[in-house]
Amino acid sequence: MKINFYATRLLILMSSIFIAYSAYSQSYPITPLSNSALKAPLVINKQGSFFIGGHDVASDTLSTIPAFGAKGTITLDQMYVAYQIPFKAKSTSVVLVHGCCLTGKTWESTPDNRMGWSEYFIRRGFPTYVIDQVGRGRSAVNSASQINAVKTSQVSPEKLPTVIAASHEGAWQIFRFGAVYPETFENQRFPIFAERGLWQQMVADWNLALDEPNATPIALSALSKELKKTVLISHSESGIFPFNSAKISNDGIAGIISIEPAACPPADSDLTPYIKIPSLVMFGDFVDQSTRWAPRLKACREFVNKVNAQGGKAELLVLPEIGINGNTHMMMQDNNSIELAALLSTWIENRLSVK
Amino acid sequence: MKINFYATRLLILMSSIFIAYSAYSQSYPITPLSNSALKAPLVINKQGSFFIGGHDVASDTLSTIPAFGAKGTITLDQMYVAYQIPFKAKSTSVVLVHGCCLTGKTWESTPDNRMGWSEYFIRRGFPTYVIDQVGRGRSAVNSASQINAVKTSQVSPEKLPTVIAASHEGAWQIFRFGAVYPETFENQRFPIFAERGLWQQMVADWNLALDEPNATPIALSALSKELKKTVLISHSESGIFPFNSAKISNDGIAGIISIEPAACPPADSDLTPYIKIPSLVMFGDFVDQSTRWAPRLKACREFVNKVNAQGGKAELLVLPEIGINGNTHMMMQDNNSIELAALLSTWIENRLSVK
């Protein structure tokens, strides 16, 4: 009986080690597209754009000039979605969700004018959806009403919305091009010679001025339901959004890829919504040199471990751990961006059995 | 000799009549695309996006939260440009410039999910460029700095930027769906059943908060120079922008199409910049029922006449005058939008001898 007792303990221990090991030993093969597939004319079956979500709001501070009335109804909280469906499309689509102080432009041509991830995914056969977060880019924000209420002395200045713009110097650190502007980490991969092309992309961020809960994960949930089988690919500020969408409903979310999320769901929260969806949390290089990112990576690792301990299919990929070095926070624009897009495409094709 | 004198006078008179007549008697044939050309997969040689223009600005009110620094450099006044070049491309391109309270979305799928003008022009063979005006959509505006300066009591509230949002009720009148919301003009062509799809498109307009001169015509001028031979197609608020670009330089501007401009250049201004460029100012229906639009049409007619009197090639087309009735201010989304895109394409092909 004693032997049996120890044998059982040993078996449990070995299983735990195996589970823990397998969570970290996923392989990340990269099946690239051929040169001709990358360079041939792009054949699109359908393209266009639409909005999802939004509700009507009455305001009496829409304008302070006579040509436009102050009173009336506007629509807020809708999310802009641009899509392209390639000629021979896979059944699983991807949705690209940008981060702080950026728009859907993140995924288009890089600052040094190479192919963006959106075009890559289209060429790879994925129906591809690029969104502007609610309150950013082509998705409206309630700026006029809030500003005019203060401008006309109906509301006090400290009630103005919390709006931020990331400076070049600040973004340089946050994006881990270097420890401090304008120094660069050795062998970092962002095309610094074209940095202007990144600064041109940056816009003010109104997320802290939006009502809670943030409307983007709600819109992403509605979009996933419509798409039926989609992989939500998020970045940085939006990193947690696909998980928040999954908390609303798993419907339509075939997979989650979170690129350097500002936060993963807390490891001690209810993880049920994340168990059934294959997920990949991916980080680049130089993380341990960043007091901003090192704790986030640690927290994501705990989250991934807990999800797997409960039978989930979560993965944490730190690129240097598989020999891919030099990637910054803006890895979709780094000089190996196409290789990374191929890695993610292969991950989707393998893990979700996408043909 | 007397006979010769009168004959000469008669000849001059007849020539004048002929010139005046020909200015108004331009014909507007419509060569449509075939059904298969409208429905076949879209073959794109190259697509992507970039910014043009922009300069660095120092600020110390970028943020009011600790996670982002208040001090630093941001880039402003750049213009977002998305482009698609079809497989068999014409040598002349088009640039689509949206109006007030809208973004480049104007030209994409209509609210009732039909093909937008941008896709139509691509299918027609034109390299097609869709921009977001400076300070709108994916083109940054200085909102954070200006708001935070007041929020932190460094600047008084009345100095807040002038920002407007057009209400549904206001836009309804301005866009001439009807005399007053929710009435509609008889046989108006906007897809009212899908009005929500328009309200979702509308964003706050910061143009009055931008430095003068507005940076968009400057960026359009730079873009035209790069494109070498392009037709600037503007709408409403941006109606005058191509003319302002032509005032900077005629370089690269092969033609101007101005859809219901809020203003034409003043007829008594120096018209030299507009003489050599074929231009078309187009208005829809119900103009005489609008106190906003009737005087604008009148002023544009004077402008066109003066340009032609000086040897120019300007045209004013009021759609009901050639038997096309019911068009609203949002004619690129009206139920005959594809017919109008075909009309404009034919105009470009004929007037600019584009193959």
Distance separating alpha carbons of residues A113 and A200, to the nearest angstrom: 13
Q: Does the structure show a pLDDT above 80 at A3?
A: no
Nearest-by-Cβ selection for A105 from B49, B59, B205: B49
| pLDDT at residue B101 is higher than 70 | yes
Q: Which residues of A touch B45 (CB under 8 A)?
A: 41-42
Query: B22 pLDDT band (50/70/90 cuts)?
Result: very low
Rounded average pLDDT over B332-345:
98
Q: State the pLDDT at residue A351.
A: 97
Q: pLDDT tens digits for B230-289?
A: 999 999 999 999 999 999 999 999 999 999 999 999 999 999 999 999 999 999 999 999
| CA-to-CA dists, residue A78 to A135, B103, B110, B141, angstroms | 8, 14, 16, 20
Quickly state the pLDDT bin for B47 (edges 50, 70, 90): very high
CB burial of residue B34 (10 Å; 0-12, 13-18, 19+):
exposed
Q: What is the mean pLDDT of residues B110-128?
A: 98
Chain B residues with beta carbon closer than 8 angstroms to that of A56: 168, 199
Which of 125-154 (B) contact A at CB < 8 A? Answer: 132, 137-145, 147-148, 150-151, 153
- Report ipTM for this prediction: 0.94
| Cross-chain Cβ contact B168/A74 below 8 Å | yes
Q: Do B62 and A164 touch (CB under 8 A)?
A: yes
Question: What tokens were used for B85?
Answer: 């070049």
**Nearest by CB: A108 against B44, B48, B65:** B48
Tokens of A343: 């890695």
A317–chain B nearest CA distance, Å: 26
Q: What angle do CA B189, B195, B200 make, to 5 degrees?
A: 135
Q: Which of residues 46-105 of B touch A (CB under 8 A)?
A: 47-51, 54, 56, 59, 62-65, 68-69, 71-75, 78, 80, 82, 87, 103-105
Name the residue with higher pLDDT: B118 or A16: B118
Confidence of residue A2 (pLDDT cuts 50, 70, 90): low
pLDDT bracket for residue A355 (50, 70, 90): confident
Residue A120 parent element (H or E): helix A117-123
pLDDT at B355: 84
Residues of B with Cβ-Cβ distance to A54 under 8 angstroms: 196, 199-200
| Pairing verdict, β A128-132 and B128-132 | unpaired
| B53-68 average pLDDT score | 97
Asked if the model's pLDDT at residue B113 lies above 50, the reply is yes
Q: What does pTM read for this prediction? A: 0.94
pLDDT beyond 90 at A25: no
Contact B59 A167 (CB under 8 A): yes
Chain B interface test: which of A64, A147, A148 (most B C-beta within 10 Å): A147
What local confidence, expressed as pLDDT, does residue A23 receive?
Answer: 46
Distance from CA of B230 to the nearest CA of A (A): 21
Percent of chain A with pLDDT over 90: 92
Q: Which one of A47, A83, A102 makes the best mutation probe of the B interface by having the most chain B beta carbons within 10 Å?
A: A47
In this predicted structure, the answer to whether residue B24 has a pLDDT above a threshold of 60 is no
Chain A hits for B165, CB-CB cut-off 8 Å, are 59, 62-63, 68, 74, 140, 143-145
**pLDDT at position A24 over 80:** no
Q: How far off is chain B from A299, nearest CA to CA, in Å?
A: 18
Q: Say if the Cβ atoms of A138 and B164 lie within 8 Å.
A: no
What average pLDDT does range B325-332 have in this prediction? 98
The mean pLDDT value for A240-250 works out to: 98
Contact: B166, A49; criterion CB under 8 Å: no
Long-range contacts of B168-173 (CB under 8 A, 24+ apart): B168/A56, B168/A72, B168/A73, B168/A74, B168/A75, B168/B195, B168/B199, B169/A69, B169/A72, B169/A73, B170/A62, B170/A68, B170/A69, B170/A72, B171/B101, B171/B198, B171/B202, B173/B290, B173/B292
- Which band of pLDDT confidence, cut at 50, 70 and 90, is reported for residue B12? low
Q: Which residues of A touch B332 (CB under 8 A)?
A: none
Average pLDDT over residues A181-200: 98
Distances (CA, A) of A285 to A112, A263, B202: 21, 17, 40
pLDDT tens-place string over residues A50-80? 999 999 999 999 999 999 999 999 999 999 9
CA distance A303 to chain B (A): 23
Task: Tell me which residue has tokens 């049996």.
Answer: A4
| Chain B residues with CB-CB distance to A87 below 8 A | 41
Interface test with A, best of B151, B156, B293, B296 (most A CBs within 10 A): B151
Nearest CA-CA distance, residue B8 and chain A, Å: 52
B164: nearest CB among A104, A144, A164: A144
Burial class (CB within 10 angstroms; exposed 0-12, middle 13-18, buried 19+) of A250: middle
Report d(CA B248, CA B244) in Å as an integer: 7
Interface residue B169 vs chain A (CB under 8 A) = yes
Please name the residue that has the structure tokens 């075009």: A119
Return left, alpha or beta for B153; rule: phi > 0 is left, psi -120 to 50 is alpha, else beta: left
Task: Inspect the interface and report whether the beta carbons of A69 and B115 lie closer than 8 Å.
Answer: no
Provide mean pLDDT across the span B87-108.
Answer: 98
- What is the predicted pLDDT for the residue at B23? 46
Contact indicator for B81, B50 with CB cutoff of 8 Å: yes
Q: What is the pLDDT of residue A158?
A: 96
Which amino acid is residue B318, in one-letter code?
Answer: V
Residue type, A179: A
Give the Cα separation of A1 and B339 in Å (integer): 87
Q: Which amino acid is at B26?
A: Q
Residue type, A226: E
* CA A31 vs CA A28, A343, A355: distances in Å: 10, 7, 13
**Residue A129's pLDDT is what?**
99
pLDDT mean over A159-169? 98
Q: Min CA distance, A79 vs chain B (Å)?
A: 8
**Is the pLDDT higher at A184 or at B20?**
A184
Q: What does the pLDDT average to over A182-203? A: 98
**Range B145-164 average pLDDT:** 98
- Which chain A residues in 179-198 lie under 8 Å from chain B, judged by CB atoms? 196-197
- Per-residue pLDDT tens for A110-120? 999 999 999 99
Q: Is A39 an interface residue toward B (CB < 8 Å)?
A: no
What is the DSSP track for A270-287? --HHHHSS-EEEEE-S-G
Instruction: List CB contacts (< 8 A) between B65 and chain A.
Output: 162, 164, 208
In this predicted model, what pLDDT tens digit does every residue of A273-327 receive, in sequence order? 999 999 999 999 999 999 999 999 999 999 999 999 999 999 999 999 999 999 9
Chain A residues in contact with B160 (beta carbon < 8 A): 147-148, 150-151
Q: Which residue of B has its CA nearest to A77?
A: B200
Tens digit of each residue's pLDDT (9 = 90 or more) over B296-314: 999 999 999 999 999 999 9
Asked if residues B47 and A119 have their Cβ atoms less than 8 Å apart, the reply is yes
Contacts of B108 (CB under 8 A, 6+ apart): A48, A49, A82, B116, B118, B119, B130
**Residues from chain B contacting residue A160 (CB–CB below 8 Å):** 147-148, 150-151
Task: Give the gap in angstroms from C-alpha B172 to the nearest C-alpha of chain A.
Answer: 11
3-state secondary structure chain B: CHHHHHHHHHHHHHHHHHHHHHHHCCCCCCCCCCHHHHHCCEEEEEEEEEEEEEEEEEECCCCCCCCCCCCEEEEEEEEEEEEEEECCCCCCEEEEECCCCCCHHHHCCCCCCCCCHHHHHHHCCCCEEEEECCCCCCCCCCHHHHHHHHHCCCCCHHHCCCCECCCHHHHHHHCCCCCCCCCCCCCCCCCHHHHHHHHCCCCCECHHHCCCCCHHHHHHHHHHHHHCCEEEEEEHHHCCHHHHHHHHCCCCEEEEEEECCCCCCCCCCCCHHHHCCCEEEEECCCHHHCCCCHHHHHHHHHHHHHHHHCCCCEEEEEHHHHCCCCCCCCHHHCCCHHHHHHHHHHHHHHHCCCC
B295 touching A, CB under 8 A?
Answer: no
Put simply, the answer to whether B166 touches A116 (Cβ < 8 Å) is no
